Amino acid sequence: MDTLTRMKTFVEVVEAGGFSAAARKMGRSKALISKYVRELEDELGARLLNRTTRTLSLTEVGQGYARDATEILQRIEDLQSSVGDAHAAPRGRLKVSAPRTFGDGELGRAIMEFVVSEPEISLELHLEDRFVDLVDEGFDVAIRISTLTDSSLIARRLSSFRIAIVVSPELLAQYGRPETPEDLSGKPCVIDSNVAYRTNWPFMIDGERISVPVKGRVEVDSPNAARQAALAGLGFAIVPHLVVKDDLEAGRLIAVLEPYEPASAAIHAVYPHRRHLSGKVRSFIDFLVKWFDKKTSEGNPC
């Protein structure tokens, strides 16, 4: 009997809470399960379980071994799944979170093209501007447009996009054109609570990034809402360029401080930190990377 089988049996006993329950789950006799665990203890030269006629408990050594053995067995399972995924077409339900601003535009088209290309994939797409908890809420991947701060997640860059500072012609006539980023401190601004910089807007001066404190009486939680507030003449707004591209071309909004625009931000695909990535998630992210690379090469970046 190999060590891996004994290890798996021991973990099953711990998780089931006893030899009888583990035997029923594994479809083997209680005597055989007990024999495997005893052989494991003999092999290790240490007692893992305290046994009485009524109770079963882990020894101090057993607690550490159970924890590490569970992780090892999970890694083996992940490895086997990843090898199988590498030789099989992507399949199964893919649960994705994306910001509504991008999901309603270019990103949405890219996601739907992926689903068309993979007939074995079923999609569950959630468009919302809040940051979801990927693990607790069961998401496979999220698309985010801000800096990754959670070290338990892995991010892969999909594309860059421009940030613009915009204002309505009427408000610009009333308050005058700001000549430097610092001029915004005395003008009404629309605050987007869903971005990291909130009331400290980023700018570039001579290659150096600076922050300018701003304030205003309107606070929103999405780029589209910030655009609507700017169109209504409620303040200067900082938004992704693609959100206001049509408004700028039509003259409904005017871009200001263009020489000081912050460096291009990036769109990332984010997923939980796992040693082996599932085939459906890997295929999805690879597809998005190639899709956005093609858009950039065609001269149509975000």
Instruction: Walk along the chain (302 residues) and give the pLDDT tens digit of each residue.
Output: 588 999 999 999 998 889 999 999 899 999 999 999 999 999 999 999 998 767 788 999 999 999 889 888 877 776 666 666 555 678 889 999 998 877 777 788 999 999 999 999 999 999 987 788 887 888 999 998 765 555 567 888 888 888 999 999 999 999 999 999 999 998 999 999 988 789 999 999 988 899 999 999 999 988 889 999 999 999 999 998 888 999 999 999 999 999 998 866 788 899 886 545 778 888 999 999 999 888 777 766 56
Write down the pLDDT at residue 248: 97
Distance CA 19, CA 283 (A): 42
- Residue 164 DSSP SS3: strand
Point out which residues pair with 92 in neighbouring strands.
121
40-56 per-residue burial string, b: 16 or more CB within 10 A, e: under 16: bbeebeeebbeeeeeeb
Point out which residues pair with 211 in neighbouring strands.
202
Write down the pLDDT at residue 232: 98
Q: How many CB atoms lie within 10 A of CB 10?
A: 25
Distance CA 22, CA 50 (A): 16
- Contact at 8 Å (CB) between 238 and 163? yes
Point out which residues pair with 205 in neighbouring strands.
208
Write down the pLDDT at residue 81: 62
Write down the pLDDT at residue 91: 84
In the block, tokens 């990535």 appear at: 277
- Residue 29 DSSP SS3: coil
Q: What is the pTM of this model?
A: 0.60
Q: What are phi and psi of 256, to 5 degrees?
A: -130, 165
Q: With the CA atoms of 26, 28, 31 and 36 taken in that order, what torsion angle do they form, in degrees rounded to the nearest 10?
A: -60
Distance CA 190, CA 219 (A): 6
Structure tokens at 170: 């009427």
